Structure 1
Amino acid sequence: MTYLPGKILNEISIGVLAIDVDYQVISINEMGAQLLQVNREDILGKNVYDLFPDAPSEVRHVERTIETGKEFNIDVMPYKWGKYDLYLSVQTRLLKTDDKVIGAMVEFTDVTQLYNKQLKLINRMEDMAVNVIPLSEGVALLPLQPIIDEVEFRYILDKGIANVSRMRASYLIIDFSTINTVDSYFIERVQQLVKSVSLIGTNVSITGIKPTVARTWIHSVEPSLQVEFHLNLQAALRNISTY
């Protein structure tokens, strides 16, 4: 049985595990043992299916690399089974000698904290993108944010309608003041939002559209869309007050 150089592997900050074609562990570095919560001496020479009999198939990428001959690169993989509660970044590689496969290795890194931070950022982005603000009785404001392209528009549509309905808003002002550039897809989705809230009895005004955005709107607009345009929020509020 051939072992990989342990001294070199122990100097790197990612986990490394190598197995032969019979799925026996031929090498694991200190970080790998730490992440897998095992003793290196206890698992060397042991079959990974015996060591981790309950591991689900969706985390057995190093074994699958031997079975299929394909290498896998996964940015974020849930590693949640048994005692494990992690998110790992995984890269598998075939081990060859004279073009003959002798095993496979996997490099893995704990990205749990980074992944959780990204989830929190996404949640904040979603909240910002659908931040419907009550201005007065029956009047609400949806200030569109430049980050809106990064958020699933289906979420924006569903959450926006829910917020407007919950506020029982008779008027919704959608403000474009912070939006400098858009494409036709963006405009189509906003129009879909306008039509949806109109179906629940809410009148829609749009404010703050810049000339570059206006040109895209004109080329993408549906003739039947019922919406009023105003230069700014103050103009829209004055118009609403006259009803």
Structure 2
Amino acid sequence: MLMQNAMDLLDEGVLISDKQYRIAYANPAYGRIFELEMEEIIGRRFSELYPDSDMLELAVGNDEREEVAEKQHRIRGKEVVLEWFTKSFREDGEVYILARVRDKTAEKEKEDRLTYIIEEMTVNIVTIAKGFGLLPLQPILREAQKETLLTRVPAACQKKQIDRLAIQFASITSIDEAWGDLLRRLIQNLQLLGVEVALAGLRPEVAMQFTNYRIRLDGVRTFRNLQQATRYYYGQS
């Protein structure tokens, strides 16, 4: 009884079923997550509530190891993301399945918004003049940004008809060999599309790191700041 009272107070959903997936216990948080009353849950088979879900089956025959999975569900017409922790256990010789459920919908939405913002900042090419654009280079915060930089920046240049691109380094405080390789690949992609690339606004310590890591960018001009790069490209117009 003490354990049940404690589980009733949890914010995460808790469900216990027998090996036939008949539900023996569900805490109030579980009911809130799935918008169900207790009388709709207790005594029912899991498949009756969720015909398309096999989450509880993950726990059967796993030698009592906990399985973790994140799945998208549709509840009362709403899309939700739930994280399931399932584990089998024995009580008085019988096998039971314990499932813990966390609603990660808000967290997933927040992560998606952050990802969108980071991606948009990564490829934020500003048109300075006809055919001349500026890419304020941003720090790489996650691995997915690298692919975004390599694929979306060349596509954006084509879309905006940019044939001269100044990559501004004002926000970059340090680089390493991996950064150098990424930059080389980006510049190669752009050059193959006929885009002339220049670097502007390198900090002295970053310029030294280029030398220390022996990062060579053939055919790429460098400028002290954006104003200098703009004067050069305006002179070509």
TM range, normalised to the smaller chain? Answer: 0.7 to 0.9
State yes or no: 1:63 paired with 2:60.
no
Query: Given that residues 55 and 81 in structure 1 are in contact (C-alpha distance below 8 angstroms), is that contact kept between their aligned partners in structure 2?
Result: no
| Counterpart Cα distance in 2 of 1:181 and 1:94 | 49
Q: Which runs of 5+ in 1 are unaligned?
A: none
Alignment TM-score, normalising by the size of structure 2: 0.87
Alignment TM-score, normalising by the size of structure 1: 0.85
Aligned-CA RMSD value: 2.5
State yes or no: 1:238 paired with 2:235.
no
| Residue aligning to 2:30 | 32
Residue identity opposite 2:99 in structure 1: V
| Residue aligning to 2:220 | 227
| Alignment equivalent of 2:178, drawn from 162, 185, 194 | 185
Query: Given that residues 188 and 220 in structure 1 are in contact (C-alpha distance below 8 angstroms), is that contact kept between their aligned partners in structure 2?
Result: no
| Residue aligning to 1:85 | 79
| Residue aligning to 2:122 | 129
Query: Given that residues 73 and 82 in structure 2 are in contact (C-alpha distance below 8 angstroms), is that contact kept between their aligned partners in structure 1?
Result: yes
Residues 1-243 of structure 1 mapped to structure 2, 5 A cutoff: 5-52=3-50, 54-57=51-54, 60=55, 62-69=56-63, 70-74=65-69, 76-80=70-74, 83=77, 85-97=79-91, 102-147=95-140, 149=142, 151-218=144-211, 219-222=213-216, 225-243=218-236
For the residue of structure 2 that corresponds to 1:73, the secondary structure is strand
Residue identity opposite 2:157 in structure 1: V
Query: Given that residues 73 and 80 in structure 2 are in contact (C-alpha distance below 8 angstroms), is that contact kept between their aligned partners in structure 1?
Result: yes
Q: In 2 relative to 1, CA 203–153 (structure 1 residues): closer, same or farther, beyond 3 Å?
A: same
- Aligned residue pair count: 234
| Counterpart Cα distance in 2 of 1:195 and 1:126 | 21
For the residue of structure 2 that corresponds to 1:240, the secondary structure is helix
Q: CA deviation at 1:6?
A: 3.9
Query: Given that residues 133 and 165 in structure 2 are in contact (C-alpha distance below 8 angstroms), is that contact kept between their aligned partners in structure 1?
Result: yes
For the residue of structure 2 that corresponds to 1:67, the secondary structure is coil
Q: CA deviation at 1:118?
A: 1.2
Q: Deviations over 1:145-204 (max 9, x none)?
A: 124545431122211011111121121000111101122112211111111111121111
For the residue of structure 2 that corresponds to 1:152, the secondary structure is helix
Q: Which runs of 5+ in 2 are unaligned?
A: none
| Counterpart Cα distance in 2 of 1:119 and 1:38 | 28
Identity of aligned residues (%): 23
